[in-house]
Structure 1
Amino acid sequence: MSTFFIIAVLILLFVVIFQIAKASEYVAILKGEEKSRKQNNKINGFLMIAFLVLGLVGVYYCHEILGGRVLHESASKEGEKVDEMLHITLAVTGIVFIITQILLFWFAYKYQESDKRKVFFFPHNNTMEVVWTVVPAIVLSILVVIGLRNWFIFTGDAPKDALIVEVTGKQFGWIFRYPGKDNQFGKKYFRNIDPSNNNLGLIWADNKELNQKADPATFDDIVADNTMYVIKNRPVKLIIGSRDVIHDVGLPHFRLKMDAVPGIPTTLWFTPKFTTAEMKEKTGNSNFQYEIACDQVCGAGHYSMKGVIEVVEEDEYYAWIAKQKPYYYGAFPEKDPSATPPAPGGAPSSSPDSAAKVTTASVTPMSSGNQNSKLK
């Protein structure tokens, strides 16, 4: 019923506008075309002033009502630089917008057709051409330089104490990998990918056909689907890739994004400012989640490709990571030492695959290429 009503109103408006236009033509014929044109020109001049005032009031009103509701403050320290760039850009373009709109509508009113004034042809002016070309070029160059400076920070070397997480996009979800107690990511190869037990193609065994040798560093890597855990106030470096097509790691709450390209790893780092629990309080939304969106159309299921970031305190993170089993033991539970019964005589039995042994020694803080873990 509502749809029918809307269609009927639109048809009625069209008919009314059409009839007004026809009536204007008849009036022009009766009054004389030139007189009617001058009268319409004067009316349009006053309407321009009305549109100018109403338009500026509308812009101000929308800014006051919606300015603080579009997005909360950046949830990352690096994202503050993005917000700063946005504010500078809005300030510059806003000033230009207001000046040009005032001039546009005022000139339409002030220089309307008049019998007391002759037309002045102004085809070209070198000074004006130089000014409105050089000034915008300088301003835009400054904005570009600021953007490039921030881009090099986000994609450059992360701090030495940064948490390292590998993010892999696939149709249609995200896979997160953390290095284990050896603080190293094991090697992987796309031909080893098996959706049933090896989503990343980790090199777990020798393969003569592919000229591969098992990489012991893969045996303690931790893999999680769709939820990534990071620590508040600690930098996190993302090593980003894709398993199939081009995806894009979009982090709207942190104001960052980066393409996930098959075969070409990309990197990005940021420092979370608020835990997920704190953001629930700040936003008043008990269901709040930090989202990882795919900002690149990647197929029919693109709309459903959502990941979650849990920002927690340091103790919570290590409590979570301690509960995680290496991905290798999920695929081969029989090789998990903790699930192997003791050998006769009380001595612990060895793992069926010697390469699967994982050291339990405490680890030291990692460099920029390793994960800093407190697991023991």
Structure 2
Amino acid sequence: MTMFLTIAVIVLIFVVIFQIAKASEYVSVLKGEEVSRKQNNKINGFLMIGFLVLGLFGVWYCNELYYGKTLLVHDAASVEGARVDSMLWVTLAVTGIVFILTQIVLFWFAYKYQESENRKVFFFPHNNKLEVIWTVIPAIALTVLVVIGLRNWFLFTGEPPQNAMVVEVTGKQFGWIYRYPGKDGSFGKKYYKNIDNASNSLGLIWDDKLGHDDVVMEQTMYLVKGKPVKLIIGSRDVIHDVGLVHFRMKMDAVPGIPTTMWFTPKYTTKEMKEITGNPNFQYEISCDQMCGNGHYSMKGVIEVVDQEEFDAWMVKQKPYYVQQFPEKDPAAPKAVADTAAKTASVKPVEAAKKAVAKM
């Protein structure tokens, strides 16, 4: 019922507009085409000024209303992300100034130079100076902006500092898998045909000893404040996109084609809770590429901590290989021996108790 009512209202509006247009046409015929055109021209001129004032006020009001809800209220949570903020502000300043000036000139000219019997129209089909100005100046401005963007891009996707930690991020429908190298500092090999959601989510090759100490996590990625991190990004199925809005970073996750980027976190999660005034704040990793029906739910969490907290967390993690093959755990034999020793020490005590009972 609501849909039919909406359609009826839209049709009614079009009918009203059509009738107003027809009435205006009849009035023009009665008044005379010349007189009607001059009156309409004057009315349109004043409407242009009104639209200019209301439009500029609307831009200001929307900025006042919604700026506080944007991420620009707080600076980037990564050192490199500050470059993105700087680039964005420069772009907004250049394009914003040009937009405001051109709109003011456009609507003011429509009012000031409306048709008048006291002024004769001057036509000129060609002007080399004007064409050079409106071609060269925008070209230079855009070139500068592009160069700034390329420099930042090459930095983010280039080689990180030598002390950078490395984390592999793999997208899947609809979640994220994170892998940390073990003490050897190297990732084990993987093969997509080995992927099994139950026992081998990344398709690791179990015979590769480099992967025996790799730590695999899902949904929550831990990073260290002040330490550069290089992300090796891939996908297990379709194209995803790693979106790190608070760090101002973004990179496609493509099946079979690893991509990389790096950044340095500036604030821990606890510090960001204080900065934002939000006790429930979480760094978010989102998928910024439509990837299926569950795209909206593809959200991960990033926990930024101090080095000591990270080390304590990492000590508690069991390698993925050991999780799948508990008998391969180096600590397993010791645990078995401890259990046997406890059992052996208990047996004499139980025997003594039985002997006493018989007496």
**2:70 aligned partner:** 70
1:144-155 maps to which residues of 2 (within 5 A)?
144-155=146-157
CA distance in structure 2 between the partners assigned to 1:344 and 1:130 by the alignment = 86
Q: Structure 1: which amino acid aligns with 2:223?
A: V
**1:31 aligned partner:** 31
TM-score, with structure 2 as normaliser: 0.87
Q: CA deviation at 1:163?
A: 1.4
**1:293 aligned partner:** 286
With a CA cutoff of 8 Å and minimum separation of 6, indicate the structure with the bigger relative contact order: 1
Q: CA deviation at 1:330?
A: 1.1
CA distance in structure 1 between the partners assigned to 2:337 and 2:49 by the alignment = 96
Give SS of 2:247's match. coil
Q: CA deviation at 1:338?
A: 2.3
User: Are residues 1:260 and 2:262 paired?
Assistant: no
1:159 to 161, 171, 189: 161
CA distance in structure 2 between the partners assigned to 1:44 and 1:63 by the alignment = 28
Higher helix share: 2
**2:125 aligned partner:** 123
Give SS of 2:331's match. helix
CA distance in structure 1 between the partners assigned to 2:5 and 2:189 by the alignment = 63
User: Are residues 1:232 and 2:225 paired?
Assistant: yes
CA distance in structure 2 between the partners assigned to 1:135 and 1:342 by the alignment = 75
TM-score, with structure 1 as normaliser: 0.84
Q: Percent identity?
A: 72
Evaluate the alpha carbon distance shift between residue 278 and residue 345 of structure 1 in structure 2; reply closer, same or farther with a 3 A threshold: closer
Give SS of 2:178's match. strand
Q: CA deviation at 1:12?
A: 5.8
Evaluate the alpha carbon distance shift between residue 15 and residue 147 of structure 1 in structure 2; reply closer, same or farther with a 3 A threshold: same
- What is the aligned-residue RMSD (CA, Å)? 2.4
1:122-271 maps to which residues of 2 (within 5 A)?
122-204=124-206, 214-271=207-264
1:312-342 CA-partner distances (Å, limit 9, x unpaired): 1222111111111000111112222323466
User: Are residues 1:327 and 2:320 paired?
Assistant: yes
CA distance in structure 1 between the partners assigned to 2:150 and 2:282 by the alignment = 30
Q: CA deviation at 1:232?
A: 1.2
CA distance in structure 2 between the partners assigned to 1:176 and 1:152 by the alignment = 24
Larger mean CA deviation between 44-53 and 62-71 belongs to 62-71
Stretches of structure 2 lacking an aligned partner (at least 5 in a row): 342-359
Larger mean CA deviation between 323-332 and 244-253 belongs to 244-253
CA distance in structure 2 between the partners assigned to 1:49 and 1:101 by the alignment = 11
1:280 to 273, 278, 281: 273
CA distance in structure 2 between the partners assigned to 1:202 and 1:6 by the alignment = 56
Higher radius of gyration, 1 or 2: 2
Larger mean CA deviation between 116-125 and 133-142 belongs to 116-125
CA distance in structure 1 between the partners assigned to 2:4 and 2:89 by the alignment = 43
CA distance in structure 2 between the partners assigned to 1:10 and 1:263 by the alignment = 50
Q: CA deviation at 1:13?
A: 4.6
Number of residue pairs aligned between Structure 1 and Structure 2:
339
Larger mean CA deviation between 181-190 and 161-170 belongs to 181-190
1:186-239 CA-partner distances (Å, limit 9, x unpaired): 1222222222211112111xxxxxxxxx22111110000111000111111111
Evaluate the alpha carbon distance shift between residue 344 and residue 161 of structure 1 in structure 2; reply closer, same or farther with a 3 A threshold: closer
Larger mean CA deviation between 12-21 and 187-196 belongs to 12-21
Stretches of structure 1 lacking an aligned partner (at least 5 in a row): 205-213, 349-376
Give SS of 1:248's match. strand
**2:106 aligned partner:** 104
**1:56 aligned partner:** 56
User: Are residues 1:313 and 2:306 paired?
Assistant: yes
CA distance in structure 2 between the partners assigned to 1:342 and 1:200 by the alignment = 29
**2:295 aligned partner:** 302
